[in-house]
């Protein structure tokens, strides 16, 4: 390999650091999303709520997923009493698929 190319090559340490950072982000997302239902139900204590919202500020993926669930809850509340059995089944299936995805 030419000497001029050496600075462009990622060394092993930077690859390890990048992988550890990715693993840490993934762990944080899993922890945050484990609190999602309680967040939606407004059942988190103050420290959990602060931690969850801090994560949402820094993670667009979790923020989007939380917004989706809040939108679903709001939509269902607006339609209370008007949801047919087939739609209810599809919604439950969707929620189970999301849960099983991770």
Would you say the pTM of this structure is higher than 0.75?
no
pLDDT at res. 88? 76
- % helix, strand, coil for the chain, step of 5: 80, 0, 20
pLDDT at res. 89? 83
In angstroms, the CA 12 to CA 6 distance is 13
| Tens place of pLDDT per residue across the chain (102 aa) | 555 555 555 566 667 766 776 767 788 888 888 899 899 989 999 999 999 999 999 999 999 999 999 998 888 887 776 667 787 788 888 888 887 875
Classified as helix, coil or strand, 102 is coil
Which helix (H) or strand (E) element contains residue 86? Answer: helix 85-101
pLDDT at res. 12? 60
């Amino acid at each position: 390999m030419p000497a001029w190319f050496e600075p462009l090559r990622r060394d092993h340490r930077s690859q390890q650091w990048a992988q550890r950072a990715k693993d840490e982000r993934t762990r944080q997302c899993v922890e945050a999303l484990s609190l999602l239902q309680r967040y939606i139900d407004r059942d988190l204590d103050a420290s959990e709520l602060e931690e969850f919202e801090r994560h949402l500020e820094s993670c667009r993926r979790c923020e989007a997923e939380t917004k989706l669930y809040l939108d679903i809850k709001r939509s269902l509340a607006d339609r209370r009493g008007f949801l047919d059995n087939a739609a209810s089944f599809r919604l439950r299936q969707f929620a189970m698929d999301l849960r099983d995805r991770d």
